[in-house]
Amino acid sequence: MNKHDGHLAEFLQARRSQLRPEDVGLRTYGERRRVPGLRREELAMLAGISAPYYTRLEQGQSRNASREVLDAVASALRLDDSERAHLHTLAGARRHGGPGTRSRTERITPATRALLAAVGGTPALVVGRRSDVLAWNRPGHGLFAGHLDPVGPDDPRRRPNMARLVFLDAHTRDLYADWPAKARAVVGNLRLMAGRHPDDPLLAALIGELTVHSREFATMWADHRVLACDVADYEMRHPLVGTLTVTQQTLQSPQGDGPSLVVATADQDSPAAAALALLAHATAPREEVRPHHGAETRTV
């Protein structure tokens, strides 16, 4: 079994183990079950395919599963839209060998940098597929990582990484009132990226690092949950402007590849909006005080 087969097999096995017979309307008549979740033959029955065929699919021995078969398996596993797309991505990577090694340094385009500047009063940052911060504006730095060097994203060797911050940085952990929800979103997004870029060594290294240094990450990663982080509300406990609830929106390219723009907004005229306005004022550049033209310097 090659690497791509393994990713698909692990996903199918994990999601099958998380479904109980009663979740899908199967009666067990009280018998003892040796494995958690559904048996392979039970899932095959729900998907309308033969048990031997599903077994080969889960073991990486069937390389030509049709879209219809994958959709049937996704329905049997009760996958949502993001998880269904992830299943198709994993199967496609297995058939076609993935998109190739993707270890190059990520950069943002002048157009993206201009967009970041255009929303200068709103907290925003640009995040790469490995969750590296490629750029941020002043309010974005102040809201998400004011304790870090503001010019850190400019140096690829020093760029902050949002996944590392969420799991390994005490300041960021304290920033989120519901830290587990934020952590699950980070893990779910990394799962999506790992499915799309199975041959990215830097992404694999990041996942390995987090697995070793965070037991919570390792536990969440083993669940094989995927989550498209498009829009989510978070209560944040900010050391400068206090507690506020913001909506974090992730804007991606139509291809779903490349850097994403993450912005934080609040309901108009809400306390959170006032807090964000205060943050924008506090992080605005200070004008240098210069003497008026023609002013004389006097000594007393």
Does the structure show a pLDDT above 50 at 299? no
Residues 166 and 258 in one domain: yes
In a domain, 152, yes or no: yes
| pLDDT computed for residue 37 by the predictor | 85
In a domain, 300, yes or no: no
Residues 176 and 56 in one domain: no
Q: What is the CATH number of the domain that holds 191?
A: 3.30.450.180
Residues 88 and 128 in one domain: no
- For 137, the domain range is 110-283
Torsion angles phi and psi, residue 226, rounded to 5? -115, 150
Are 56 and 32 in contact by the 8 Å Cβ rule? The answer is no
Domain endpoint, select from 63, 96, 129 = 96
Domain endpoint, select from 96, 127, 143 = 96
In a domain, 270, yes or no: yes
Mean pLDDT of 184-200: 91
Q: What is the CATH number of the domain that holds 39?
A: 1.10.260.40
* Per-residue pLDDT tens digits for 144-161: 999 999 999 999 889 999
* Per-residue pLDDT tens digits for 16-54: 888 888 877 777 666 666 777 888 998 999 999 999 999
Residues 118 and 213 in one domain: yes
Which residue did the predictor score with more confidence, 229 or 260? 260
Residues 147 and 89 in one domain: no
In a domain, 57, yes or no: yes
Residues 92 and 114 in one domain: no
In a domain, 292, yes or no: no
* Per-residue pLDDT tens digits for 214-224: 999 999 999 99
Residues 52 and 182 in one domain: no
pTM of the model: 0.81
In a domain, 294, yes or no: no
Which residue did the predictor score with more confidence, 222 or 295? 222
| pLDDT computed for residue 94 by the predictor | 54
Residues 78 and 215 in one domain: no
In a domain, 238, yes or no: yes
Mean pLDDT of 60-68: 79
Residues 60 and 131 in one domain: no
Residues 90 and 116 in one domain: no
Residues 279 and 161 in one domain: yes
| pLDDT computed for residue 242 by the predictor | 96
Which residue did the predictor score with more confidence, 218 or 227? 218
Which residue did the predictor score with more confidence, 189 or 252? 189
Which residue did the predictor score with more confidence, 102 or 179? 179
Does the structure show a pLDDT above 90 at 92? no
Domain endpoint, select from 43, 62, 96 = 96
- Count up the domains in the chain and report the number: 2
Residues 144 and 249 in one domain: yes
Mean pLDDT of 165-184: 97
Does the structure show a pLDDT above 90 at 205? yes
In a domain, 291, yes or no: no
Give dist(CA 131, CA 190) in Å, integer: 8
Mean pLDDT of 282-289: 72
* Structure confidence at residue 107 as a pLDDT band (50, 70, 90): confident
Give dist(CA 120, CA 148) in Å, integer: 19
Does the structure show a pLDDT above 70 at 68? yes
